[in-house]
Chains A and B, each alone.
Chain A
């Protein structure tokens, strides 16, 4: 059977959040520790160019560069862009200018925000200075932003040994991205059927295999699986394992059995927990059926049907 009209698109929020812990090399460590101490460091390349923010290898020659120098906290805007609608995570919550600033004594520019009343107050070539964050941890955000500063450039880069007490050796870079997940045609049909406590797979029109859960395409034939087929509800344990480690946030007593179950009519086994039988009595060929709980959106687990075990030949292709 094929659905007559496309079902309503399912949507759910999906949050991807990851705090990367990153170590710092000697140059980055000195630079970020310096920011914590309100000192801006750069590196000097073999041809005498001062790079701020510093890199550890010369982008032209690939030579390792370690010669640290201190530059000014004042500088000149080399280009800018007015951001009328700040986005989450950006340095300022009110409209600001993105700027590239060449700090006094440096030959390259650093990206940051400039706090200014409006775009008419910003121009390339304007003089600015660092506004330090009140609380500094050794991160690029120790620079809260830049602010306008009318003073001639005077400072030159001066040698610095890069030594600070309690040097920062790593950063934790937190990130969060928000998505709206929609599962697509095939999985929508599968999820909608589960709401009626039915398991519906899809048949490949070419090789006639029935995939559960359906993924929308037959990986052997490379064509859409369009014919919906109700399978189960009972099935056969094709293989299993005994879980002895309690998972975080999972309220299931260990040990328990996690199994591959080929539902009757399906050509692909799905995963499920086996209950209603001591864990050490679960076996290949065991016949099982789904157990639903009130309000559950998929079977909570599978339990023995009491039928005789399936013959090995009946499921060996599905292991």
Chain B
């Protein structure tokens, strides 16, 4: 049992699976894309869909333009007769948070969490403008790259980074992704390319693609039975900042810092950090907020969102990747982070720990 737990129940990530992330998946409907990953994650635990206590998913209908698409993907978990389930119109990391709360209440001992994003049918840069304030922002159609570029320029003006440092983050991420068979963009030779919205170049931006991730959570002895080395969630918290970009200091992420404090990130060193930074410049902000300044922590060994960014799943993947490293014995204490909204507006931080061998 983790000694640092501050919660009613000890809950762990006991399995993680993800699809290969690809630019397009025209030949598959959403449920056809999701189902193999659900089967893989359940197979890892030996559980059948009907044995799961609670199911929670995260997705956004706007990505593929299909109303209530999440109800169709529910077919893939065998949701009839009705099961105990819920959905968030958010990244799957927040679905995981809801599932974790459900287990804390004692109403479930296990949970299946999945999320997916099919960005290929639409133009995700434009689609994401629809999540913005409808009075002052959305009528201007400021796309996701433009908003990230404003943040990047603020960081450059503050002397916290420069274009060369951003390029190095992009290159390091894609080099790390060479070891990740699911990544969409890998190899250190990926070019930085031209400006998309200056100062961000193509290489500073995430690839656009379709993908799925799934996680199984379990409590206490159930977790031990299902997994040789569970990744215990010893802390988890999420915080949000003001919506208006002009109200925020874009070079800092107080919401990440406060969530990290509440999750206990700073109580002991971490050896791994999986950060949901879709843009290279956002890693700079997150490293500062999470105090990841040295080389002693493996930051985004999976390649991170710069290597694969299925919108609505990329945050859950960070938790899954961190947990998988603990499952494999490659990490003892990891921090996982997920973000939502423009310029890191909302942030979730989780600490995952493995028991000593």
Contact = CB atoms under 8 A, between A and B. Distances in A.
Contacts of B64: 179
A139 B230 CA distance: 53
Interface range, B side: 35 or more
Given A87-B143, A222-B49, A224-B32, A108 B138 contact: no
Interface stretch (B122-130, B165-173, B266-274, B290-298): B122-130
A83 B197 contact: yes
Contact of B122 (A79, A178, A188, A222): A178
B152 A81 contact: yes
Contact of B26 (A84, A182, A219): A182
B146 interface: yes
A183 interface: yes
A89 B62 CA distance: 18
Contact of A53 (B78, B141, B200, B244): B244
Contacts of B68: none
B141 A90 contact: yes
A206 to B, nearest CB: 9
A84 B72 CA distance: 40
A81 B126 contact: no
A20 to B, nearest CB: 7
Given A51-B247, A53-B244, A100 B35 contact: no
Given A177-B65, A220-B78, A113 B140 contact: yes
Contact of A88 (B30, B141, B197): B141
Given A28-B135, A139-B139, A222 B76 contact: yes
Given A177-B65, A186-B32, A215 B26 contact: no
Contacts of B28: 184-185
B198 interface: yes
Contact of A84 (B32, B78, B150, B198): B198
Output the residue of B39, B79, B121 with the most chain A CB within 10 A. Answer: B121
A179 B136 contact: no
A177 B146 CA distance: 18
Contact of B141 (A59, A87, A222): A87
Contacts of B76: 217, 222
A315 to B, nearest CB: 19
Interface string B107-135: 00000000000000111011101100011
Interface string A84-101: 100111110000001110
A308 B246 CA distance: 73
Contact of A140 (B27, B32, B139, B250): B139
Contacts of B138: 173, 175
A219 B126 contact: no
B245 interface: yes
Interface in A203-219: 215-219
B142 interface: yes
Contact of B250 (A79, A99, A216): A79
Contacts of B123: 177-178
Contacts of A55: 242, 244, 247
A179 B75 contact: no
Contacts of B81: 220
A9 B27 contact: yes
A177 B122 CA distance: 8
B153 interface: yes
B80 A220 contact: yes
Given A32-B135, A51-B247, A141 B140 contact: yes
B136 A219 contact: no
Contacts of A53: 135-136, 244, 246
A2 interface: no
> Do most interface residues of chain A lie in helix, strand or loop, or is the interface mixed?
mixed
A88 to B, nearest CB: 7
B142 A78 contact: no
A173 B129 CA distance: 13
A81 B149 contact: yes
A100 B75 contact: no
B67 to A, nearest CB: 9
B88 interface: no
Contact of B121 (A51, A109, A182): A182
B247 A179 contact: no
Contacts of B250: 79
Contact of B80 (A109, A124, A188, A219): A219
A111 B126 CA distance: 17
Interface string A144-165: 0000000000000000000000
B141 A89 contact: yes
Nearest 7 CB-CB pairings of A with B: A184-B29, A222-B78, A109-B246, A81-B149, A89-B141, A82-B198, A179-B65
16 contacts: A9-B26, A78-B246, A81-B153, A81-B199, A84-B198, A109-B246, A175-B130, A177-B122, A180-B122, A181-B66, A216-B32, A216-B35, A219-B80, A222-B38, A222-B49, A224-B35
Given A84-B195, A90-B140, A222-B35, 11 more contacts: A28-B135, A55-B244, A83-B197, A90-B141, A91-B140, A99-B150, A108-B244, A177-B126, A177-B127, A178-B122, A182-B27
Interface of A: 6, 9, 11, 14, 16, 20, 22, 24, 28, 32, 51-53, 55, 59, 78-84, 87-91, 98-100, 102, 108-113, 119, 124, 139-141, 171, 173, 175, 177-188, 215-224
